[in-house]
Every structure is written in C-alpha cells, then in structure tokens.
Amino acid sequence: MLKQTSVTYRMVEIWIARAIYFFLYFIALFIVSLGEVTFKSVYYPLLYINKTVFQIYSFFTGVVFIGFVKSGINNISTIIVSTPKFISLLLKSSIKLVESFVFWVLFLGISLLRFFRSLYFRYFIYGFVFCLLMIFVYQSFLFVNDLPSPKSIGEVNFAQSTHLYDRNGRLLYEIFRDYNRTKVELSDLPKTIVQATISIEDKHFYNHKGISFFGGVLRAVKETLATNELQGGSTITQQLVKSALLTPERTMERKLKEMVLALWTEQIYSKDQIMEMYLNQVAYGGSAYGVEEGAKVYFGKNARDLTLSESALLAGLTRAPSIYSPFINPDLAEKRRNQVLNEMYLIGYISQKEKEAAQNEPLNVQSPTTNIRAPHFVMHTRTYLEQEYGSKQIEEAGFRITTTLDLEIQDKAQQILQEEISRLKARNISNGGVIVLNPETGEILAMVGSVDYFKDKYGAFNVTTALRQPGSALKPVLYSMALSRGFTAATPIDDSPIIFHIPGSESYKPVNYDRRYHGRVSIRQALANSYNIPAVKVLNSLGVQSFVDFAQEMGINTWEDSSRFGLSLSLGGGEVTLLDLSQVFGVFANGGYRVKPSPVGSIVDSNERKIQELYSSKTKVLDEGVSFIISDILADNNARMPAFGRANLLNIPGHTVSVKTGTTNDFKDAWTVGYTSKVVVGVWVGNNDNSPMDSAPGSLAAAPIFKRLMTYLLEEKDMEGEIQKPPNVVGKPCYVGKTEYFLTGTESKSGCFDTIIKPGTPTPMSN
C-alpha cells in the first residue's frame, strides 16, 4: 500500500514539475514577445514566479495532509458516537495522527530533495536562464537598434549660421536661431588649439578607442562617489557624440549610449576627423558654437589666427563656458587659461619659456557687442530671404550670401545723413533715410533706414520701406504718362486759379507752393519748377484711375485702394515708400525698363553649391523716348531757375544729374530723388512721430544730403552716366532758340505753344 502511494505521489511530483517548467517557459516567451520591456520590469516578475512555484508545490502537498487529518477527525467523531471504547480508540487515533504527520513531513522533505536533485529541476533552471538570456539579447538588440548612427555627424547635420557679406566680401552679419556656428577644416586651424583642447579635455585622445577607462571612467566614478551626482569623465569622442547625437540628461542609460556610440564612432572616423567635428560642435559660451565663432566672439578674429594664449583660453571654456567666461569672471578665466598652458607644458606641447610668456599675456578679449553692419539693410535682406526660403532654412542651413550692398557707399551715406540731420535740428528735423540703387540691375547699393539704428527709440525702424506721402516727387510719373498719351514737353498749360466742383465732395482749389500763378507754361516749365496747378489739370485730363494703373506699372506697389484717391494724387496724396519711388526713378534712368530692387547677389550653401545668382528681371513699362525727355527736363537747371534759383542744391557743377524734390503741404515729409544712367539716389527727411518740420522743403532739407552723396558717387565711385538720346526723339528749336525734344511724330509744325489744356470734366474724388 505504501509503495503504491509512493508511486502515485511520484507521478504527481513529475507532472507538477513539468507543468511549472512549461508554464515558466511560455511566460518568458510571452514577455520577450512584448519587446518594449526593461530589465527591471522582467527581473522582479521572474523572482515572484520563482517564489510562487514553491508556494504552489507546498500548497498541493499541504492539501493532501489536511485531507488526511480531516479524515482522521471524521473517524474519531464516528467512533465517539458509535462505541464505548472511546478513550482507547482516541489514543490509537492520536498515535496514528502523529505517525501520519511525521510521515508527511518526511515525505515532503524527501520529495523536495528529489525535486531539487532531479533532471526536471535542472530543466527548470536551464529554461529560466535561457529565458533571461533571450530577454537580454533582445533588449540589447533594441538598445543598439535605437541608437542614432555616428555617420550622421560627418554629414554636417548640425545647424550652421548663415553669413551675409557685402558685394566685396566684407562680413555684414551672421543669422542663426539658437547656435551661431561656422564650419572650419582642421587643416585651417593652428595646432595650438588642438593641443590645448587635448591637454585639458582628453590627454589620451590619440591612444584610446573612444573610451578611456583609467583616464575617464575611474575619474568619473571617483567624482560621482564624492559628489553623490552622476559625473562626466568623457573622452573627446564621447563629448562629440553627446553633443551631436544625444539628449543632455544625466542618466545611466544615456551614459551607456554615449559609451557605445563613442566606440562605434572610432570605428568610422579617424582621430583627426573626430577632432575636427568636435571643434566645430563644442560650445564656447552664449550663442557661439564651434571654434570659429568662439574666436570671433572673444577675439574678433578667425580661428586660424589664434595665438597660443587665445587657444588656451578657448580650450579652457568648454568645460563650463559660463563659469570661465572672460566677460563674467575674468580672473577665473585667466586662472583656467594658465591651467591649460601648464597642462600643455607637462605633456610636452610647449616649452617652459612659451608657457610663461603666454601666461603673462593679458586676456585681450573684445567687449561683447552686436556685430552687425548696415543693420537696416541686413534686416531687410533677412526678411527677403525668409520669404524666399523660410526662416528655418536661413537660420540653420549655413548659407554664404553675397549681397548687393557696397559697404563703402553705405558707410558714406550713413555719415552724410547723420551730419546733415544734426545741422537740421533747429528746423525740428530728427530723422532721415537714404537709398542707392543700380538702375540697370536693381542692386541695392546702400540702404540707410534711420540716423542711428541703435540709439533712438525709432532707430530700428526702416524709413526707406515706410509709407510716406511723396509730395511733388511723384510729378515725373504723372508727366511721363502725359507724354505717353500724346502730350509733349512743349505743350502749354494755363497756370491760373481754378476750382474743381466735385459732386458729393467739397470743392478742390489747388495752389502753387509759392502761392503765385505763372500764366501759360509748358510741361517742361511746369515739371522743372514743380508747379501744382498744371499737374492737377493734367491729372484731371488723364483720369485718376488711369494714373493709378500707370503708376503701378512703373513700380508703385502701395496704391491698393484707388477709390480713396482724387486729384490731390498729382501732388503726392498717395503714400509710397522711398524704395519704391527710387525704383520708379530707375525706370527713367534705365531707358523705360522697370527692374525690381534686389538685396541679394548670390547664395552658396555649406557644400559650396550655388543656390541663387542675381537675376535682373526687366519689364518694359515706358517708352525710351519718354524716359529721355523726362530725364532731360529734370536735369535742366535753366528751366528750374524761376523756382529754385541758379545756384540751387539740385545742380552739381560739371555733372549731368536728373533730380526732383518733393514736400508735403504740412511739411511732414521732404524728398529728393535723382539719378544718372548708373545710379539712383533717394533721400527722405522728416520725423518718425509725424510731427511737422519748421518750413523745410525738400530743396532745403533733403537736397543737401542728396548733393553730397551724389557728388561722392560721381567723383569717387565713377557713376557718371548721361542719359543718351534714343533714335525716336527729335529736337526742335523753341523758346527763343532753345531746343525742345519730342517723340518722333509729335513735334509741332506750327510752333511750340499750339495747345492750351482746359480744365475739362473733373474726376470724382473721395474725401
């Protein structure tokens, strides 16, 4: 009976072991299949399962034992009820109960011992270890597969600053988002910056394979134990992958990734390649990333020109730029530099004499400044570029952009503007702007948007792109339309009082600037002397809407709602920008072709690929003969003498320059715009708060700036260029022997004054 029971429990034991083994095996496979588990989430469940196995086994054997005890108790109850030999049977039952207890204790002990020594238990252990190994291998695969590839470091995946240069290669500004960085080749750098970096950051750089166990890991462990914080100890390779490929958090997982990637990186790149990438990535403080920008920020020079002392200072910054900054802690920065020099000496890179000489040098760092030249032009160009390519591309792509600006002309224009506005303060004039264009190509050679970009509260506001009323400066556009519609320069106009009665509006009575009337005058005389009444009569004859359309063709881009304009538009009642008005005058200078102003000459990306070249889009908008006649009138100093006098500021002796002034009737804006065939100069003078000037017309406020700058351009920059008479223009003697020019076929056969313009039907004008 005992043998049969033993065999039965042996079979139960075997099946329990098998069930537990397969249960654990499939549980482990299920856990592995989940994939996204961590070592921590697997470790504790397995411990719990292992503990539960023995609890299940013990519970099973315990149930058998309890059942036996329960059976004995039932027998005792039966005996008590059925027989008087209760005490005798109770003693016998107690003895059997004790025997049963001892039996089951021995049975359980022997069974457990057999289980632990059995082949099935070894199967369980093997399966358990195998599952752990599978989990480890799979998690290792996920860990490595999730790592970024070091190959991307060599593809210059970091953001690079975009550099703006003037047309002659002088740096104007660097555009960047968060990091100001410029890539340089290792061969272009002095050896001192490499040696200084190795000395203070990674002395065994050329000997290790990415991880320096004794030089880095042990030091990091020591510092971690001392400070109770996770410390560095990273090699240069580790620092490179950390800054280029990883997030900045300080965790064991990130540190493990850093070490694996460092080993991987060393298998892909040479030591020199790693050093070059590191020097282009590392932070030197503020927005300066990479050694090139670090050299510019602290010393105002290119990295290739760094001295030994400067190299040591930069190398010392990388550990903690804000702490060792010479701007914030110059004494600490000097100590750090000297420490780097001492390390270079101990390694053998420099001699004792070189070390002492460099340590005795002052820091000689430049004051922190905003390095920007021609700021209004730079910001205008940036807006243009962002519209073309997007802000992210411009801030991060590392473009090298050669602009159209001539920095010498820009600086001269800025100087003249500041000097002349200073002289005009007594007339309540505080600001001005200047535009210089090449009329043939549309290149913006200079753009001065205020007297001082940095000081005045309005300084950063660019007045050259602001809407202002042009006054009489717009009259050449009106008269060029008249010449295109059959009028001639000799067509007479009656400059006499007139009132335009406009249905639904107040009557309009134009007056001349001098408050006088000049009788019958030709278009030449009317334009040259800037008479108002003839201009209003011409506009009334042509029609306001037709003039708006014509002006838009010429380059005025700001007259969107033409319904608000009336006859006062001929006197500058519609707002324009100085840039647009200069473009319009460029049409006269360029034989009737409109060329859109452009601030960009060429764009090259970080891989030296050409992205854009200057393309001058020309549109024929005016007859060449008309542009010549208008230019001739604006250059006729004799014709404008009645209003401006012989020795006026518009005349530049020895040079032929076409020029027109403009003044609003409330003296809030004063203009002078003039040109040769090679250059257009536009000047605006006034106040940003729109307060009126003290009786300062364009001929007195803006003309002095124009004359000085145009004289400089003609004499120093060789921009002399007389407008040549085209074949479709003929000359005819008029005005007591003086020659007048006509488009072929429009010359008068019965004298120069053959028609007088009548008032005609007035054009409706809104208030």
pLDDT at position 561 is 82
Number of C-beta neighbours around residue 219 at 10 A: 14
Number of C-beta neighbours around residue 351 at 10 A: 11
Tell me: pLDDT of 69 over 70: no
Helices H, strands E: what count in the chain? 25, 19
Residue 689 pLDDT class (50, 70, 90 cuts)? confident
Supply 189's token pair: 């750098």
Per-residue pLDDT tens digits for 453-488: 888 778 889 999 999 999 999 999 999 999 999 999
Could you tell me what percent of the chain has a pLDDT over 70?
73
- Quote the CA–CA distance of 496 and 502 in Å, as a whole number: 19
Tell me: pLDDT of 150 over 90: no
Helix (H) or strand (E) holding 34: helix 2-34
**At 230, is the secondary structure helix, strand, or coil?**
coil
Both 141 and 184 in a single domain?
A: no
- Quote the CA–CA distance of 143 and 254 in Å, as a whole number: 11
In a domain, 579, yes or no: yes
Residue 589 pLDDT class (50, 70, 90 cuts)? very high
Per-residue pLDDT tens digits for 244-280: 777 666 677 777 778 888 888 888 889 999 899 889 8
**E strands along 388-441, which residues?**
400-403, 431-437
pLDDT at position 450 is 94
Per-residue pLDDT averaged across 537-565, rounded? Answer: 91
Last residue of a domain, one of 332, 359, 386: 359
In a domain, 446, yes or no: yes
Both 547 and 446 in a single domain?
A: yes
Per-residue pLDDT averaged across 22-33, rounded? Answer: 50
Tell me: pLDDT of 77 over 70: no
Tell me: pLDDT of 400 over 60: yes
- Quote the CA–CA distance of 527 and 571 in Å, as a whole number: 12
Q: Does 526 or 612 have the greater pLDDT score?
A: 526
Q: Does 496 or 227 have the greater pLDDT score?
A: 496
Both 71 and 131 in a single domain?
A: yes
Residue 228 pLDDT class (50, 70, 90 cuts)? very low
Q: What is the CATH number of the domain that holds 646?
A: 3.40.710.10
Assess contact for 233 and 219: CB atoms under 8 A. yes
Both 89 and 204 in a single domain?
A: no
Q: Give me the phi and psi of 758, to 5 degrees please.
A: -90, 160
Both 329 and 432 in a single domain?
A: no
Number of residues assigned to the chain? 767
Both 609 and 559 in a single domain?
A: yes
Both 136 and 202 in a single domain?
A: no
Question: Model-level pTM?
Answer: 0.68
In a domain, 383, yes or no: no
Q: Would you tell me the crossing angle of helices 291-299 and 271-281 to the nearest 10 degrees?
A: 40
In a domain, 201, yes or no: yes
pLDDT at position 110 is 66
Residue 349 pLDDT class (50, 70, 90 cuts)? very high
* Distance, CA of 628 to chain centre: 44
Both 567 and 437 in a single domain?
A: yes
Q: What is the CATH number of the domain that holds 345?
A: 1.10.3810.10
Per-residue pLDDT tens digits for 160-171: 788 899 999 999
Tell me: pLDDT of 346 over 60: yes
Tell me: pLDDT of 82 over 60: no
Residue 250, phi-psi category: left (phi > 0), alpha (psi -120 to 50), beta (remainder): beta
Residue 766 pLDDT class (50, 70, 90 cuts)? very low
pLDDT at position 637 is 93
Per-residue pLDDT averaged across 597-625, rounded? Answer: 88
Residue 754 pLDDT class (50, 70, 90 cuts)? very low
pLDDT at position 288 is 80
Residue 756 pLDDT class (50, 70, 90 cuts)? very low
In a domain, 247, yes or no: yes
Q: Does 618 or 158 have the greater pLDDT score?
A: 618
Q: Does 323 or 484 have the greater pLDDT score?
A: 484
Residue 55 pLDDT class (50, 70, 90 cuts)? very low
Placement of tokens 């990333």 in the chain? 289
Residue 233 pLDDT class (50, 70, 90 cuts)? low
Supply 499's token pair: 């009132």
Last residue of a domain, one of 359, 383, 409: 359
The per-residue DSSP string of 614-678 comes to ----EEE-S-HHHHHHHHHHHT-TTTTHHHH-TT-TT--TTS--EEEEEE-TTSSEEEEEEE-SS
In a domain, 380, yes or no: no
Number of domains in the chain: 3
For residue 409, CA distances in Å to 446, 653, 683 come to 6, 21, 14
Per-residue pLDDT averaged across 364-387, rounded? Answer: 85
Both 196 and 78 in a single domain?
A: no
**At 435, is the secondary structure helix, strand, or coil?**
strand
Number of C-beta neighbours around residue 625 at 10 A: 23
Could you tell me what percent of the chain has a pLDDT over 90?
43
Tell me: pLDDT of 691 over 50: yes
Assess contact for 163 and 174: CB atoms under 8 A. yes
- Average pLDDT of the chain is 80
Last residue of a domain, one of 338, 359, 380: 359
Per-residue pLDDT averaged across 635-640, rounded? Answer: 92
In a domain, 444, yes or no: yes
Tell me: pLDDT of 107 over 80: no
Q: Which of 109-118, 378-387, 476-485, 726-735: highest mean pLDDT?
A: 476-485
Both 475 and 330 in a single domain?
A: no
Q: Would you tell me the crossing angle of helices 236-245 and 252-268 to the nearest 10 degrees?
A: 110
Residue 219 pLDDT class (50, 70, 90 cuts)? low
pLDDT at position 513 is 87
Q: Give me the phi and psi of 613, to 5 degrees please.
A: -125, 155
pLDDT at position 665 is 81
Least confident of 291-295, 548-552, 744-748: 744-748
Residue 85 pLDDT class (50, 70, 90 cuts)? low
Closest by alpha carbon to 238, among 229, 219, 228?
Answer: 219
Both 139 and 189 in a single domain?
A: no
Residue 436 bridge partners (DSSP): 446, 681
Both 117 and 197 in a single domain?
A: no
Q: Which of 7-21, 52-66, 317-331, 565-579: highest mean pLDDT?
A: 565-579
Residue 70 pLDDT class (50, 70, 90 cuts)? very low
Q: Which of 17-26, 323-332, 457-466, 516-525: highest mean pLDDT?
A: 516-525
Residue 221 pLDDT class (50, 70, 90 cuts)? low
Domain coverage including residue 219: 179-359
In a domain, 404, yes or no: no
